[in-house]
A and B are shown apart, each in its own frame.
Chain A
Amino acid sequence: MNNKGDTKMRMLIVEDDPIAQKVMFKYLSPHGDCDIAVDGEEAIRAFRLAQTDQRPYDLILMDIMMPKVNGREALLQIREMEKNLGVMGSSEVKVIMTTALADPKTVVDSYYRSGATSYLVKPVEREKLLDELRNLKLIS
């Protein structure tokens, strides 16, 4: 699923909790280049810059409950940008929503309506996370 041949897989972790950032970064770094955004606003900016650089992200891990712009809102905007850029189908960025909200309504709402690819409930365990990456054919 790498985009421009030689480059490593690019991932963006969107997470306001510093410990969770660190854990996710450690889990994912062996599998590619990982950026960290601390809120939805940064996520949108990072996504846009990656597009401008012609090095789009392959995967975004998006927390739902965050300050400024929440994960769902950020995802909606990212999907909107993709639409504007004509990015569609399998070249759309894969987005895994991560949430400590065990409320399925919130999760399902984000999962289906805002175009998330899947979701994980926190605490995110490494094997579950990597399974999800394998499901999405991002790693083998």
Chain B
Amino acid sequence: MAQVTEPVHVLVVDDEASVCKMLSIRLEFAGYRCRTAPDAETALRLLSEEKADLIITDINMPGMDGIELTRKVKSAFDSDVMVMTGQIEAYAYEEIMAAGASDFIQKPVSTKELILRLGRVLRERELLRQQRESLAVMRAAKDQAESANRAKSEFLANMSHELRTPMNGVMGMLHLTLDTPLSEEQREYLSLAMSSAEILLRHIDDILDFSRIEAGKLGIESVTMTLSAVMGSAIQPFVLQAGSKGLTLRYQVDPNVPNVLFGDPDRLRQVLMNLFGNAVKFTETGRVEGAVKVVEKDSESVLLHFQVLDTGIGVEQQHAEAIFNPFTQADGSLTRRYGGMGLGLSICKRLVEMMNGRIWVESTPGKGSCFQFTARFGVLPPQLSASDKKAYTDEFKEEEARRPERDLNVLLVDDNNISRQVGRDILLKHGYRVTTVENGTAGIEFFKRERFDLVLMDLEMPDMDGYEAARIIRHHAASSGLQTSIIALTAHVFEDVLEKCREAGMEGHIAKPYSVAKLNKEINRIMGPRVSCSEQASPLNDLDSPKVSGVIIDLEKAIEKTPDEVSGEETLLPETLRDVLNQALCLLDQLRLSIGAASSGQAAAQLSGLKGLAGKLRADVLVDEIFRLQLMVRKKEWARCVSQVLTVEAGFERFETRTAGKEATP
């Protein structure tokens, strides 16, 4: 009988009540918890209410038969099924088992046999459960290990940056200082510091490489490489050291070794440098010789054999394998004499394996060592991909269709305070320069003083209406030879209104409320595409400037709100503008002093403040000018800075005239 800690739940399904009753009494007696059902449908309902470990079902029942019930149970519940078959039943046992039954038993059922079979089914069930459980545990452990490994890789990537950045500073500064006039003593000290830094950097590289190999993050590239160049650059760093020890250092490549290969030159160089470096390090007299030959070659790849032979201290046979393991050196006492972390050869071993080769050493202590490795390389020259130039040209044509925003100087004439403010902010935000005035007379005044490319004219205004103002502006423009467009702003788009507009010299109209898109469309219609009057707009400018959005600015709605609600963070109130300008002028004064004192630190801080202010004004051209000044300060080109400060100042002052303009009333 199954060893049950918790009671096993059994469901008996038979249309004969006597069978149900008999079986449930026997099973309860044997220690099972038993329920019964007179048909398959009832059984399924009972199962959905409370699970059962095992179902014993009759095969032939009214409605759904036992085989169908077995299929349903197996597809929806985690229960085993035993099927009771009559001797005369026409069902094949194969069919019963195929439906998912764990066993079958012939009727009339021998209780003893049933309980024995039941015990076996339950044993299997328990085994399967344990297997599933341990699988789940292993899967969880695997997931955990994988995520830990990912975290480790991530950590290492950061580590590399954190370790190398300060090394960059140390070595760079040493290098620069070594270039300045120094006493002999100072030069010697700094050169020593420099060589220590170089050693430290090699160690850092080894640790990082080793960790990346462990994390499975180190990959082997496949690019064209020249073997002679790799060999040469691998030996070069040791020429001096070998020379000072009086060692002969040379290498030889068999003539049948192809010089152009397909592989990872950096990794090959790394292995060779390690071997040459060790050879020179552990050899006091004699020679260090490299050699390359072909082991085997076919049409696609070549297996090369490299060897680095030295006449150094050699390695004991018992250490010959171990030296390729991480953190191992041939001898403890050598550690002191020769130093090193014992990572180099283990990195070589991994790298060589990644190049489909192996590494080994043959050595006689006291006589010398011969380190050898094989590595496989591609021999086909790389197929150069088709030139990108055609793609470039095609994409360029597409890009050209994108239209830069214009740089227009716009005069907005509107008597409503909020309409004016909203209009101004929208125009500014989309890269136009704007002056706003609140009536026709002021509009005319400003038009006479400053050159505008475009006038946006509200029609309904007290004192002088838009038609009258437009007529005078048109007249003035004509007599001064100015190319100015006038667009009417009106809530009433009737034909007679438009006719009156045309009569007054207005070329277009925009119905209120207007969107920026609508405004741009009308501007393009009237002025033609891509005309910019004041400055030539670079096609690059629109990379930074905000894109024209299709947001409808409902002026009428805006008017009902308070200015604060309208502006939100998107707009700039005149008070803020004045505040920004005051700060800017103050910073500019300080900046002049910093430049005069050649203090780049202070100038940098003031400039970043100015840049922020110009950003608030959304004056991208001004930000550019400030950035130019930043570049000059960083280069300490103080003379040029002085005139650039004037340019920046003028940029801010242009905003000042606009605030003044806005306030102007006749």
Contact = CB atoms under 8 A, between A and B. Distances in A.
B267 to A, nearest CB: 9
B594 to A, nearest CB: 18
B157 A101 contact: yes
A125 B169 CA distance: 11
Contacts of A27: 172
A88 B389 contact: yes
Contacts of B169: 17, 19-20, 23
Contact of A123 (B164, B400, B543, B624): B164
Interface string A99-111: 0111111101000
A31 interface: no
B627 interface: yes
A44 interface: yes
Contacts of A24: 172
If over half of B's interface residues share one DSSP class (helix, strand or loop), that class is named, otherwise mixed; here it is helix
Nearest to B400: A84
B600 to A, nearest CB: 11
A103 B168 contact: no
A3 to B, nearest CB: 17
A80 to B, nearest CB: 8
Interface string B607-638: 00000000000000001100110010011000
B627 A89 contact: no
Interface stretch (B40-48, B112-120, B215-223, B447-455): B215-223
Most chain A beta carbons < 10 A, residue from B163, B389, B627: B627
Nearest to A53: B628
B219 A125 contact: no
A60 interface: no
B168 A122 contact: yes
Contacts of A108: 221
A114 to B, nearest CB: 13
Interface in A12-54: 17, 19-27, 34-37, 42, 44-46, 48-49, 51-52
Interface residues of A, number: 45
Most chain B beta carbons < 10 A, residue from A44, A45, A88: A45
B49 interface: no
Nearest to A104: B219
A84 B175 contact: no
A133 interface: no
A34 B218 CA distance: 35
Contacts of B218: 104
A103 B160 contact: yes
B274 to A, nearest CB: 16
B392 A83 contact: yes
If over half of A's interface residues share one DSSP class (helix, strand or loop), that class is named, otherwise mixed; here it is helix
B392 to A, nearest CB: 5
Given A19-B169, A45-B627, A84 B164 contact: no
A34 B389 contact: no
A17 B543 contact: no
Contacts of B627: 42, 45-46, 49
B258 to A, nearest CB: 23
A105 B163 CA distance: 18
Given A20-B169, A83-B399, A125-B171, A35 B208 contact: no
24 contacts: A20-B168, A23-B169, A37-B631, A44-B543, A46-B627, A49-B624, A51-B538, A81-B543, A83-B396, A88-B393, A100-B161, A101-B160, A102-B209, A102-B212, A103-B157, A103-B160, A103-B212, A105-B217, A108-B221, A121-B164, A122-B165, A122-B167, A122-B168, A125-B175
Given A83-B392, A102-B205, 14 more contacts: A21-B634, A23-B173, A23-B175, A45-B624, A48-B538, A52-B538, A77-B543, A81-B540, A83-B399, A86-B396, A88-B392, A101-B157, A104-B219, A126-B175
Interface of A: 17, 19-27, 34-37, 42, 44-46, 48-49, 51-52, 65, 77, 81, 83-86, 88-89, 100-106, 108, 121-126
Interface of B: 157, 160-161, 163-165, 167-173, 175-176, 201, 205, 208-209, 212, 217-219, 221, 389, 392-393, 395-396, 399-400, 538-541, 543-544, 623-624, 627-628, 631, 634-635
